[in-house]
Structure 1
Amino acid sequence: MNLWWSRNHLNKPITAITSVMTRLADGDLSITVPAVQWKNEIGQMARAVLVFKENAQKIREMESRQKEREEQAERERKNLINQLADDFESQVGSTIREVSNAATGMEASAQLLSTTAENTSQQATSVAAASDEAASNVQTVAAAAEELSASEREINRQVGRSSEVVAGAVKKADGAHETVGTLVSSVDEIGKVIELITGIAEQTNLLALNATIEAARAGEAGKGFAVVASEVKNLANQTAKATEEISGQISNVQSVTEDAAKALEAIGNSIREVNEIGEAISTAVEEQGAATQEIARNVEQASAGTREVSSNIQHVRQAAADTGETAKEILKASSSLSQQSINLQDGLNAFLSQVRSG
């Protein structure tokens, strides 16, 4: 009977406790520990197993809380890493984009600068050609101005010579006019003498006629006187005829001298007009000479200006060439910077991907 009680009241609880301990060892903390209320050694054993279970539960709870804390810490770490990565990406990515944009802008500016430099060089070449042509034209104008000035001096000299000749002609014409006037006066005096001679001849003819009549009355005594009277009459008639012819010639001379006087007066007036025209031409030539000298000065200034423009254009062409080379270097550097920004962006993306995944 003792053996049966021992088997039923000792072995069975011990087996149960052993089973509980086995399950507790396997990590099953949901099992209930039997015989905890017992007051004997089995109860003590059961309570010890319960303490083991409770300690295991506490350890599990601590592990669970530790795991939660670790998971929370991991989540916080990942969130922090992601946040840092986001901030880093935002800051560095913005900088990279700014660098890339700057490189793009610099590349565009360099391209524009290169194009501008090339256009400037072409324009400078065109301006240099135009300047050379202008310089050639200025030299041509200068030569023409010099020839014009020489022509004006020659014209002025010839006009001066013409003025001298015209002045001499005016004096001669005035002298001839005075001579013709004197001739007219002399012809007038001769006419008066002719008139006197004509009157004397008429009077002589009348006296000869009277002498002839008286000689006829005297008969033989008056024949010799009649011959003389006849001769005197013939001489008076011849004298009258001669004086008549001379009077006609004197009339012709008077008419001619009057025409000559009028012609000389007209010639004198024409010569004076020519002299006035010559003086006007001389004045105009002098004014034109002053204008030509001013043109020559302006041409010289223009020539100096074109030479200075040519010199400056050479500097501009050299500066444009240097600018073009600088633009090429900037373009090369900007292209390299753009490629480096792309590489940096790729490296940043790879780094952030690794950080976020780790």
Structure 2
Amino acid sequence: MIKRLTERIAHLSIRGKTFALVGSLALVATLGSLFVVVETSRSRSATERQSAYLDTLEQANRAITAFDNMKYWYADLANSLSEEAEKKAARHAEVFAMLIEEIGGELDVGQGELLVANAKEVARLSLEALDHYVMEEQEAGNQLMAKARVLVARNDEILEKLLERLRANAQQAARRVDATSALAARTAIVTLLLILAGVTGIILTTERTVIRPIHSVTTAMKKVADGDLEVAIPMVDHPSEIGDMARAVAVFRDNALEIRKMQEQREREQAERQAERERAEQAQRAAEEKQRRQLESEFERQRALARSVIELLEGQVLVSLEAVVGAARELDQAHHAMDHSLATSQNRAAEVSSASELASENAQMVASAAEQLAGSVTEIAAQIAESSRIARETVDQQQAVARSAERMRDLTQDINKVIGMIDEIADMTNLLALNATIEAARAGEAGRGFSVVAAEVRTLAGETQKATENISQRIEEVQKASEETVGAIDAIGKQIRRIDEASSTVAAAAEEQQASTAEISRTIAQAAKATAGISAKIAEVVQDIQETGAAAGQVADAASNLQSIAGRLREDVEDYLANLDSGDSSNSHTRQG
């Protein structure tokens, strides 16, 4: 079965092998980890239970200690009769009751209440026995203490059994913790061993099913690369990626064999072409020898023809060359005349261009000045419009101030009316005070106090009349100032209206001036543009003159070159004729030799 499984794994792809092996290892690790987690959880639960048992055991020990302390202090109370012993005994009794209530779940039903009731009864009996001992009733006190000792024995028995049970539970929990911990440790060790075994299996399986086949294929690949094309390629029929690689190596080997065959075929063809080339070269050398003999005969014929040509050249070519040289000289003289005319035209064109540029610059300056003037006129018009707006706002404000001054004048008139009423009231008050003074004088001694009050009222009435007179004078001054203010504001309003009218007139004139200035600016701009166009045309004329001068210079250069070429040609012809004549003589001597 293991062999069959190994064969199945071997026929898987490398990816499939990797997934299968790693998946198996992951499954083993996961199952082992889950088991370890479960056992660890069980161990933790057992540890928690052990801790709870130990806590309960500690509380039971504390309860026993509290009960023992209570017994001790009640016994001490019987000897010392101190209040402190009684308080300590009562406090330990309370602690005992509290601890018994906390560990009540570990006691049988009713035992907790019985322990607390017995402790309380022991306390009561001890206190009653103390009272009998104080009264020197030893027999009664001893009977009560005997009952208390019985209750103490019952509590000690119950607490001892509780302590034994809690110790047994704690020991059992400790054993359970040890067992679960040991099981978890064993499980972890087994899981680790399984993982190590899985890793070992993966390594062995990988070495057998992947590394060895790849090594055999790469060995064959190296042999093929070294030129051994007869080597057998292993793993060709393998269905995995290794088989694909082996088949690729086989294809590479077959291609290399085909290339080797093609190379051998090409070498044979090159040898055949080399032999054919040698045969062609032999045939070519034979043809060249035949052609050389034909050229020698043709040379003899051409030499005879050359003699006739020499005679012709001596008679006609030299004459033609002289004519060419003369024409070149005339062309050079015409160039000098043309050069002078072009220089004159160029100077005049330059003067016209300078004048045109100056006119264009002046026109542009005038256009700029016109634009600045138009801008200034626009700004002046804007400022005049702003002044007119401010004047209109000032007129509106002046009218509002005038209305306020008129309201102030009306208010002062109303205040005058009120002051008149106050003055009348003061007169009446003065008259009433005078009558009161007269009546007080008639009353004699009984009206003396009333006479004093009447005198004070007359005094106040007189001061009120004086104050109203002062206020009336101030109001008259305010009225006069208000009237003067109204008059001044009216005068200012009239002046502002005249300023507004003048500003409107100036604004209209500024708008007309602005339109005229804009028209002048457009006209000057058009003139500047036309002047710039003239300057451009003149510049084109100057450029044409310069190009004509350059062409004339080229003609002069061509004439000069023609003269030199004609001179050299004449010298070459003369040398050629001389060499031809001398060569003819030497060839004839050579051939004769």
TM category, shorter: 0.5 to 0.7
Q: C-alpha separation between the residues in 1 aligned to 2:337 and 2:353?
A: 23
Q: 1:266 and 1:98 mapped to 2: Cα distance?
A: 99
Out of 320, 332, 341, the position equivalent to 1:74 is: 341
Q: 2:435 aligns with which of 167, 172, 196?
A: 172
Q: Distance in 2 between matches of 1:133 and 1:72?
A: 83
Q: Does 1:150 align with 2:413?
A: yes
Corresponding position: 1:353 with 2:540: yes
Displacement, 1:272? 1.3
Tell me the amino acid that sits aligned with residue 480 of structure 2: Q
- What's the counterpart of residue 351 of structure 2? 84
Amino acid at match of 2:469: S
Number of aligned residues = 231
Equivalent positions of 1:117-266 (< 5 A) are 117-118=381-382, 120-121=384-385, 124-125=388-389, 127-128=391-392, 130-180=393-443, 183-184=444-445, 257=446, 260-266=447-453
Quickly say closer, same or farther: Cα 1:295–1:277, change in 2 above 3 A.
same
2:323 equivalent to 1:28:
yes
Q: Does 1:299 align with 2:486?
A: yes
Corresponding residue number in structure 1 for 2:465: 278
- Is the CA contact (8 Å cut-off) linking 1:104 and 1:338 kept in structure 2? no
SS at match of 1:309: helix
Identity of aligned residues (%): 9
Q: Which amino acid aligns with 2:493?
A: T
Deviations 1:110-166 (A, max 9, x none): 5x33xx5256436624642x3443343234223323323322433343344344334
Structure 1 distance, partners of 2:530, 2:346, is 27
What is residue 477 of structure 2 aligned with on the other side?
290
Amino acid at match of 1:28: A
Distance (whole Å) between structure 2 residues aligned to residue 347 and residue 83 of structure 1: 13
Aligned pairs for 1:39-58 (under 5 A) are none
State how far apart, in whole Å, the 2-side matches of 1:146 and 1:109 are: 48
Contact in 2 for aligned 1:138/1:302 (Cα 8 Å):
yes
What's the CA shift for 1:342? Answer: 1.0
Would the aligned equivalents of 2:433 and 2:457 in 1 still touch at CA under 8 Å?
A: no
Question: RMSD of aligned C-alpha atoms?
Answer: 3.6
Residues 101-120 of structure 1: pairs in structure 2 closer than 5 A? 101-110=368-377, 112-113=378-379, 117-118=381-382, 120=384
- Contact (CA 8 Å) 1:170, 1:271: kept in 2 or not? yes
Distance 1:310 1:81 in 2: 66
Kindly indicate whether residue 343 of structure 2 is the aligned counterpart of residue 343 of structure 1.
no
**Deviations 1:187-210, CA, capped at 9 Å, x for gaps:** xxxxxxxxxxxxxxxxxxxxxxxx
Q: TM-score, normalised by structure 2?
A: 0.34
Q: 1:321 maps to which residue?
A: 508
What is the alpha-carbon distance in structure 1 between the residues aligned to residue 398 and residue 371 of structure 2? 45
Rounded to whole Å, the distance in 2 between the matches of 1:166 and 1:155 is 16
Cα shift at 1:294 = 1.3
Find the aligned partners of 1:281 and 1:64 in 2 and give their Cα distance.
Answer: 128
Q: Which structure 2 residue ranges, 5 or more long, are not aligned?
A: 1-314, 546-593
Partners of 1:123 and 1:150 lie apart in 2 by 38
CA positional deviation for 1:27: 6.3
1:310 maps to 2:494: no
**Aligned-partner Cα distance in 2 for 1:172–1:77:** 133
Distance change >3 Å, CA 97–CA 146, structure 1 → 2: closer
Q: CA deviation at 1:341?
A: 1.5
Cα gap change, 1:350 to 1:75, in 2 (>3 Å): closer
Q: Is the 8 A contact 1:131 1:309 kept in 2?
A: yes
